[in-house]
A and B are shown apart, each in its own frame.
Chain A
Amino acid sequence: MDLRFTPEELAFRDEVRRFFRNEIPAEIRRKVSEGRGLTREDYVTSQRIMNAKGWAVPHWPREWGGQDWTAIQRYIFTEEMLLAAVPLPQQFNCYMVGPVIAAFGSQAQKERHLARIANLDDWWCQGFSEPGAGSDLASLKTKAVREGEHYIVDGQKTWTTLGQHADWIFCLVRTDPAAKKQAGISFLLIDMKTPGITLRPIITLEGRHEVNEVFFDKVRVPAENLVGEENKGWDYAKFLLANERTGIARIGLSKERMARIRRLAQEMPAGEGTMWADRDFRERFAGVEIELKALEITQMRVVAAQARDPGRPDPASSILKIKGSQLQQATTELLLEVAGPFALAAPERGAEPTNDWPFDYEWADAAATSYFNNRKVSIYGGSNEIQKNIIAKAVLGL
């Protein structure tokens, strides 16, 4: 039993750390750190720097640009990225559709898409959720009917994150209405420029345009864009959701935010001193810090188990999403507390993020924005209540 990294792992960590801090533009990292929105260009810039180094998709198969890293190296890499406030490589590209195409796609699909996915030449979004299919994803209704060499797609997807930037969307569609729920679903790749697709923004409560509705009206999709076999889409979706769980707890992100909260609290006047001098605040801060440390060790247990036995997930992995999201939210609560009354004012802005702020605490508006926005982390990717259902069944046998 040993918590320490090997000298090789430490050298790798230093290399990765230097790369993120020296090569990714400070302005992009500042925006991430302050919880401000990124432009499409920010994502593209950051990811292409990583891709040029061969690091945009290290978890992919070697022949498509992967790195054959150990589970521990992948963990170090992701944590260092989060700690340096580097945006994760576009997630729908790199962690979702890319691995699915690499595992189940045709040779033609791999050759057409994978390199462009890794370099963010094409921006992908996810068409899973529907107005009537949230946690109960398998009840989705968007249908695809085969007509010669095409599927005709009709229906509606929602919560499509950053769909406004997208060139492509990967969708779960119902291809066999007669089959029982999960059995009649297929995995389809759809070009967003195809006639019949309409995108409507959804402005989330903090004022950002982050998610969208996507409508499909008799959209003709070439049959060659079917991934794998017809009616096997649910299996691919499960693979996708289980694929890259390292970093799901976002511990590096929470640690980075805690370090920032500490700096801000040390500067924020309160009473005769600063907020950092207030014992109650410090104890609340310490309380979150302790849980974060515990979760960090829990995550290391999971990673160590993966490194030893890649086929068998550790039961502890199931708690990472729940606890990790709770702690992300706890950090935004602390930040909101530090901002205090200065969190109240919202700058004039449209749906797109702006960085103009005329007040002394130029970071304070983003405190409320982060707090509001982070309520999503216990909802998306399978709400925490769904996660508990899964654990109760799969781990506890209830």
Chain B
Amino acid sequence: MDFDLSLEQAQLKDGVERLIAANYPSLETRQKLAREPLGFSERGWAQFAEMGLLGIPFSEAEGGFGGGPVETLVVMEALGKGLALEPYLASVVLGGGALRLAGSAEQKRRLIPAVVEGSLRLALAQTEKQARYDLNDIAMTARKVEGGYLLDGAKSVVLNGDSAALIVVSARTAGARRDAQGISLFLVPADAPGLRITGYATQDGGRAAEIGLSGVRVADADLLGEEGKGLPVLQRLSEYAIAALAAEAVGAMAALHALTVDYLKTRTQFGMPIGNFQVLQHRAVDMLIALEQARSMAFYAAMMVEHPEAQERAAALSAAKVQVNRSCRLVGQEAVQLHGGIGMTMEYIGAHYFKRLTMIESLFGDTPHHLRRVAAADGLMA
């Protein structure tokens, strides 16, 4: 039992943190990058590739660097700490994850090297307007035709869906809208005829897209994984996403907590630093407790995300998301409150951490969703 990073992992952490600190010297820089067409810096993405970050989860045989959940945790925590905009979750964890979990040898050979070197970005188009967080709820259809499939339907809040060249789309090849069976995954080029991508800014400074598909034709070779067996892949991706978001949230919460404590030490009222007031001290401690509990669950998520037993794994990841969400809520709200008026302003970076933490709560299952799942799983300790 140990919670230490290996030497290589510590070096990775140091390297990513330094890169992000250099690329995001100020809130102004971040906001400027957020307004670029992609919603992040193309140069920053290339630096991620140079540092090897984009190849972390892929095995060396696939052209990656054979990292695991702990390496992903290290990178995501650094992204959270620096409030970075790069679509690491969308392209590497989700899109790359889909390739890794379901791709054929040929698909992996063709695509993974491009992902790793930064020339190909991916996205996962999963959520639909009626589905909320239910991964099995898919109305999009994929009709079998000679040599391929025809895709029809719409996807919503596709993370960084407007900067990916290739989109992993879930669609129904069989069954009714909420059936577990009959879901298939497809690789759809962003420029496919019949595909309409409407990108927009998100509350936390990122980007997402609404994607419409009408009669989009894909080839048999673009089926990702086995036909009709897509749901387990989506479930695994959701688990990897939760583990990654947990780490990002911890990075962001730690940074926001540090900002808040610093503010308590420097802001003077009634002739003394407001950190002298016990009621504010105790609230800062409450934030610390929430942060440390979330950190523990981010570790837990990283260590459970590749657990071989599916039910235990799913319950563990849901539990982690509940704790992280609750901590995000508390740390975010308290940080704004303890900052007072300045915490309410667009020009203050703390407010942007608060917004990101709030949006993380809603990604891949909110608190009631995952609490219900843990309850239905008949417990964590059974």
| Binary CB contact string for chain A from 245 to 272 against chain B (1 if under 8 A, 0 otherwise) | 0000000000100110010000000000
Which of A304-326 touch B at CB < 8 Å?
304-305, 307-308, 315-316, 319, 322-323
B297→A293 contact, CB < 8 A? yes
| Binary CB contact string for chain B from 33 to 76 against chain A (1 if under 8 A, 0 otherwise) | 00000000000000000000000000000000000001000000
Identify the closest chain A residue to B74 (Cβ).
Answer: A1
Report the separation of the CA atoms of residues A391 and B290 in the bound assembly, to the nearest whole angstrom.
14
B136 in contact (CB, < 8 A):
no
B297→A392 contact, CB < 8 A? no
Which of A1-44 touch B at CB < 8 Å?
1-6, 9
Report the separation of the CA atoms of residues A29 and B85 in the bound assembly, to the nearest whole angstrom.
55
A319→B292 contact, CB < 8 A? yes
A389 touches which of B2, B281, B294 (Cβ 8 Å)? B281
CB distance from A4 to the nearest CB of B (A): 6
A346 in contact (CB, < 8 A):
no
A255 touches which of B282, B288, B303, B381 (Cβ 8 Å)? B381
B1→A290 contact, CB < 8 A? no
Given contacts A1-B3, A298-B293, A398-B261, contact A293 B281 (CB under 8 A): no
Contacts of A2 in B (CB 8 A): 1-2, 303
Report the separation of the CA atoms of residues A307 and B4 in the bound assembly, to the nearest whole angstrom.
12
Given contacts A291-B293, A392-B284, contact A304 B2 (CB under 8 A): yes
A294→B284 contact, CB < 8 A? no
B221 in contact (CB, < 8 A):
no
B375→A282 contact, CB < 8 A? yes
| Binary CB contact string for chain B from 343 to 382 against chain A (1 if under 8 A, 0 otherwise) | 0000000000000000000000000000110111001110
Contacts of A72 in B (CB 8 A): 1
Report the separation of the CA atoms of residues A72 and B1 in the bound assembly, to the nearest whole angstrom.
8
B302 in contact (CB, < 8 A):
yes
Report the separation of the CA atoms of residues A293 and B264 in the bound assembly, to the nearest whole angstrom.
31
B319 in contact (CB, < 8 A):
yes
Identify the closest chain B residue to A395 (Cβ).
Answer: B288
A398→B264 contact, CB < 8 A? yes
A279 in contact (CB, < 8 A):
yes
B299 in contact (CB, < 8 A):
yes
B323→A300 contact, CB < 8 A? no
Interface bin, chain B:
35 or more
CB distance from A226 to the nearest CB of B (A): 37
CB distance from A236 to the nearest CB of B (A): 28
With contacts defined as CB atoms under 8 Å apart, how many contacts are there between chain A and chain B in the complex? Answer: 135
A289 in contact (CB, < 8 A):
yes
CB distance from B328 to the nearest CB of A (A): 14
A74 in contact (CB, < 8 A):
no
A391→B288 contact, CB < 8 A? yes
Contacts of B4 in A (CB 8 A): 1, 304, 308
A396→B288 contact, CB < 8 A? yes
A398 touches which of B275, B297, B376 (Cβ 8 Å)? B275
A342 in contact (CB, < 8 A):
no
Contacts of B282 in A (CB 8 A): 385, 388-389, 392
Which of B1, B295, B303 counts the most chain A CB atoms within 10 A? B1
CB distance from B237 to the nearest CB of A (A): 22
Q: Is the interface of B mostly helix, strand, loop or mixed?
A: helix
Given contacts A319-B289, A323-B293, contact A9 B281 (CB under 8 A): no
A301→B371 contact, CB < 8 A? no
A63 in contact (CB, < 8 A):
no
A148 in contact (CB, < 8 A):
no
B181 in contact (CB, < 8 A):
no
Identify the closest chain A residue to B2 (Cβ).
Answer: A304
CB distance from B352 to the nearest CB of A (A): 23
Interface bin, chain A:
35 or more
Which of A295, A308, A388 counts the most chain B CB atoms within 10 A? A388
Report the separation of the CA atoms of residues A19 and B371 in the bound assembly, to the nearest whole angstrom.
36
Given contacts A1-B2, A286-B379, contact A397 B285 (CB under 8 A): no
Contacts of B281 in A (CB 8 A): 388-389, 392, 396, 398
B5 in contact (CB, < 8 A):
yes
Identify the closest chain B residue to A298 (Cβ).
Answer: B296
Report the separation of the CA atoms of residues A4 and B299 in the bound assembly, to the nearest whole angstrom.
12
Report the separation of the CA atoms of residues A315 and B379 in the bound assembly, to the nearest whole angstrom.
29
B133 in contact (CB, < 8 A):
no
Contacts of A348 in B (CB 8 A): none
Identify the closest chain A residue to B5 (Cβ).
Answer: A1
Contacts of A54 in B (CB 8 A): none
Report the separation of the CA atoms of residues A286 and B371 in the bound assembly, to the nearest whole angstrom.
7
CB distance from A33 to the nearest CB of B (A): 16
CB distance from A233 to the nearest CB of B (A): 28
Which of A5, A283, A392 counts the most chain B CB atoms within 10 A? A392
Which of B209-266 touch A at CB < 8 Å?
261, 264-265
Given contacts A3-B303, A286-B371, A389-B278, contact A294 B1 (CB under 8 A): no
CB distance from B121 to the nearest CB of A (A): 29
A398→B374 contact, CB < 8 A? no
A177 in contact (CB, < 8 A):
no
Contacts of A287 in B (CB 8 A): 322, 371
Given contacts A282-B375, A301-B3, contact A294 B300 (CB under 8 A): yes
Which of B276, B288, B300 counts the most chain A CB atoms within 10 A? B288
Contacts of B276 in A (CB 8 A): 398
Report the separation of the CA atoms of residues A397 and B337 in the bound assembly, to the nearest whole angstrom.
20
A297 in contact (CB, < 8 A):
yes
A215 in contact (CB, < 8 A):
no
Pick 26 A–B contacts, CB within 8 A, sort by A. Answer: A1-B3, A1-B9, A3-B300, A3-B303, A283-B372, A286-B322, A287-B322, A290-B371, A290-B380, A291-B323, A293-B380, A293-B381, A297-B300, A303-B1, A304-B4, A308-B2, A316-B296, A323-B289, A323-B293, A385-B282, A391-B288, A392-B278, A392-B285, A397-B261, A398-B261, A398-B284
Interface residues of A (CB under 8 A from B): 1-6, 9, 72, 255, 258-259, 262, 279, 282-283, 285-287, 289-291, 293-295, 297-298, 300-301, 303-305, 307-308, 315-316, 319, 322-323, 385, 388-389, 391-392, 395-398
Given contacts A4-B1, A286-B374, 9 further A-B contacts (CB under 8 A): A1-B6, A1-B302, A72-B1, A259-B381, A290-B322, A293-B297, A294-B293, A298-B295, A304-B4
